[in-house]
A = this chain, B = another copy of it.
Amino acid sequence: MDVEIRKAEKADADEILALIQELATFEQEPDALILDKKNIEEDGFGPNPLFSCFVAVFKNKIIGISLFYPRYSTWKGATLHLEDLIVTEKMKGKGIGTKLYKAFLSHADSLGVDRVEWVLLDWNTTAIQFYEKSGAKVLSDWNIVQMDRSSIKNYILENK
């Protein structure tokens, strides 16, 4: 199968967004996505990109992405965070995820970061097994904590 992996470009924004929506639906959060095509264009392909992305292309269509950005560990220094590794449903099981994962890890290696990381839903056993087999460590003793914009505003108002 002739799948090309390349860096994403601005013109890919629409297809990238479609894959992000597909993953949101898979993760049982179909309405969580508030970004539009213009956000993706500006955030990823403007003068100060907030993320980088590889795309998998088959017959001129984007069928998968690995999207990531820099993070920082106060123990290890610069790291990379893999935000999304997505392959469209119809094209799963053909090794495309592995190609995208490899492109991401090779990039991380070329930057010389000491760690890459990402998060997985604990019921996604297929993904957990894939990543553990690749040499990654799954840490189940941490909780993620999030605060949204309105809760931030509330807290500030109540603690003046």
- Name A residues whose Cβ lies closer than 8 Å to a Cβ of B: 20, 24, 29, 32-35, 39, 43, 50-51, 67, 69-78, 81, 83-84, 98, 102, 105-106, 108-109, 112-123, 128, 131, 134-149, 151-156, 159
Kindly identify which residue among B113, B135, B138, B147 contacts A151, using a CB–CB cutoff of 8 Å: B135
Is B74 within 8 A of A116, CB to CB? no
**Min CB–CB distance A47 → chain B (angstroms):** 14
For the residues of A in contact with B, the DSSP-based class is: mixed
Chain B residues near A148 (CB-CB < 8 A): 114-115, 137
| B115 contacts A141, C-beta separation under 8 Å | no
What chain B residues lie within 8 Å of A33 (beta carbons)?
A: 74-75
Across-interface contacts of A122 in B (CB, < 8 A): 141-143
Residues of B within 8 A of A81 (CB): 71
Beta-carbon contact of A138 and B145 below 8 Å: yes
B-chain residues with CB within 8 Å of residue A131 when the two chains form the complex: 145
- A-B pairs with beta carbons under 8 Å apart, 28 shown: A34-B77, A35-B75, A43-B77, A51-B72, A72-B83, A73-B83, A74-B84, A102-B155, A114-B148, A114-B149, A116-B146, A117-B147, A119-B142, A119-B143, A119-B144, A121-B142, A122-B141, A122-B143, A123-B141, A128-B145, A136-B145, A137-B146, A137-B151, A138-B144, A139-B143, A139-B145, A139-B146, A142-B143
